[in-house]
Amino acid sequence: MTATQDASAHPPFRGGALVTGAGRGLGLEIARRLVARGHLVHVTDVDGDLAARVAAQLGPRAFGSALDVRSFPACRAAASRTQRRAGSLEVWVNNAGVLFTGPAWEQAQRARELMLEVNATGTINGTLAALEPMRAAGRGHIVNVVSLAGLVPAPGEAVYAASKHAAIGFSLATLADLRLAGIKGVDISCVCPDGMWTPMLYDKLEDPGAAASFSGSLLHPEQVAEEVAALLDHPQPVLAIPRWRGVVVRLLDLAPGLSLRYAHRILAHGRRKQRRLLRRAKTGKLP
Domains and CATH numbers, the chain: 11-282 (3.40.50.720)
Angle at the Cα of 93 (from 88 to 96), degrees rounded to 5?
135
Which one of 160, 170, 197, 214 is the catalytic residue? 160
- pLDDT per residue, tens digit, the chain (287 aa), is 333 333 346 789 999 999 999 999 999 999 999 999 999 999 999 999 999 999 999 999 999 999 999 999 999 999 999 999 999 999 999 999 999 998 999 999 999 999 999 999 999 999 999 999 999 999 999 999 999 888 887 888 999 999 999 999 999 999 999 999 999 999 999 999 987 776 667 677 777 777 677 666 678 899 999 999 999 999 999 999 988 777 777 767 776 666 666 666 766 766 777 677 767 766 766 55
Of the candidates 113, 92, 116, 69, which has an alpha carbon nearest to the alpha carbon of residue 174?
A: 92
The pTM (predicted TM-score) of the whole model is: 0.86
CA distances from 218 to 74, 270, 282 (A): 33, 10, 18
Cβ within 8 Å of residue 107, ≥6 positions away: 100, 159
- Is position 160 annotated as part of the catalytic site? yes
